[in-house]
Structure 1
């Protein structure tokens, strides 16, 4: 591998494989219980936020359906991303999950009737993460551009523990997360622990 992009591509392939293998070994009950209620540190951040941006999980990604139910039950404004080409994602308020429809890469996203909102907290998918709060995404830079658009929003990664790597290769545009939540652990920046 000659450059950083090649290293990232190799990591993506390996960690998709790991995530898929881990996910396939989970029974349905465990899958249903995972991530259904936020752990205390994340619950505290959610309580302090009004608009929560969440993603529609696909395949072996950490599931978000139960978390979406929880956020709705607690009266939070729930938003999902809409793909906007090379521009940052647009978060749109979703009052009913039925308003999601197949969008970019067949990922469920809000239809155009859903109003755009500014998130206080963004819960993001990822392929791999490290303890310095680095995030390896799909490779399109969509979330990094979106994080830059909403610099005041807290950035929370949701992942399975098998997605941890020693070090995520970084490029200048890559942005760190504030917290990572797995099925077994919460990892957060030191300045978030007080």
Structure 2
């Protein structure tokens, strides 16, 4: 009788995980798998990401991140405003105040909502002093959570105190009003466009205030550097009737 010894078994079709775990070169069952795995990895690495144009060509609507676009516009306008040196800013602010004072809407107003400038915003204090001297009722905003309330001020020194984020606001002892009857609102902001669109600091405070007030004339106040050709808008954004800069008055109707 001839005894047949069992033949040694060679692993066939070893899994990718097994092949990857082996340290010796030429492990059985892995030689023909490695090239395929390498080719697959190379093809995956070289694959280009899909773009909005690719999606459109496939019949899909390209996705536009409006918030990201708005943030970029806000950053651009704010950097342009902050880049103005003190002398340029002071000179431009004086010309802006002169243009505001000459507007028919401002000259004929009995009640005006304005703002106390902070940082590199256009300083309106000299104009507000003139308006107070003419017995115009001047209201300034107070941050009250997500909303702005208003308080009438009579003196820009004694009636103001540091409020939200250190911004000057009417003192706590002054009566607050939600929506008094006003003729003109002088609106601050970060970016403006010739069509009357505006972007603020992102909280929506002035937009909500404007929706509560009964059809006043809305005038944006800005340096020319803050005016961009176009701004992205959302449904809650409120449009302005005019934007006044040191170089002129922009009206959407023009």
TM-score (norm 2): 0.68
- Equivalent residue in structure 1 for 2:153, among 94, 100, 115: 94
Q: Which residue pairs with 2:222 in the alignment?
A: 159
Instruction: Report if the CA contact (8 A) 2:115-2:188 is conserved.
Output: yes
Q: Does 1:55 align with 2:91?
A: no
Q: Does 1:3 align with 2:62?
A: no
- State the Cα distance separating 1:34 from its structure 2 match: 3.5
Q: Distance in 1 between matches of 2:233 and 2:214?
A: 18
Q: Distance in 1 between matches of 2:234 and 2:132?
A: 36
Q: Distance in 1 between matches of 2:199 and 2:89?
A: 27
Residue by residue over 1:38-59, the C-alpha shift from the partner in whole angstroms, topping out at 9 and shown as x without a partner, is 44662x1123321111111111
Listed as ranges, the matches of 1:93-112 within 5 Å are 93-98=152-157, 99-112=159-172
Q: Distance in 2 between matches of 1:25 and 1:46?
A: 26
Q: Distance in 2 between matches of 1:151 and 1:141?
A: 18
Q: Distance in 1 between matches of 2:200 and 2:65?
A: 17
- State the Cα distance separating 1:163 from its structure 2 match: 0.7
- SS of 1:105's partner is helix
Residue-pair matches, total: 188
Q: Which residue pairs with 2:135 in the alignment?
A: 75
The answer for unaligned runs of 5 or more in structure 1 is: none
Q: Distance in 1 between matches of 2:68 and 2:87?
A: 29
Listed as ranges, the matches of 1:1-194 within 5 Å are 2-24=64-86, 26=88, 30=91, 33-39=94-100, 42=103, 44-87=104-147, 89-98=148-157, 99-117=159-177, 118=180, 119-190=182-253
Q: Distance in 2 between matches of 1:23 and 1:114?
A: 35
Does the C-alpha gap of structure 1 residues 25 and 5 become closer, same or farther in structure 2, counting only changes over 3 Å? farther
Q: Distance in 2 between matches of 1:126 and 1:16?
A: 9
- State the Cα distance separating 1:166 from its structure 2 match: 1.3
How much is the aligned-residue C-alpha RMSD, in angstroms? 2.1
Instruction: Report if the CA contact (8 A) 2:101-2:127 is conserved.
Output: no
TM-score (norm 1): 0.88
Higher RCO (CA 8 Å, separation ≥ 6 residues): 1
Instruction: Report if the CA contact (8 A) 1:92-1:115 is conserved.
Output: yes
The answer for unaligned runs of 5 or more in structure 2 is: 1-62
Residue by residue over 1:83-135, the C-alpha shift from the partner in whole angstroms, topping out at 9 and shown as x without a partner, is 01112x11110011121101111100001222335132110111111111101
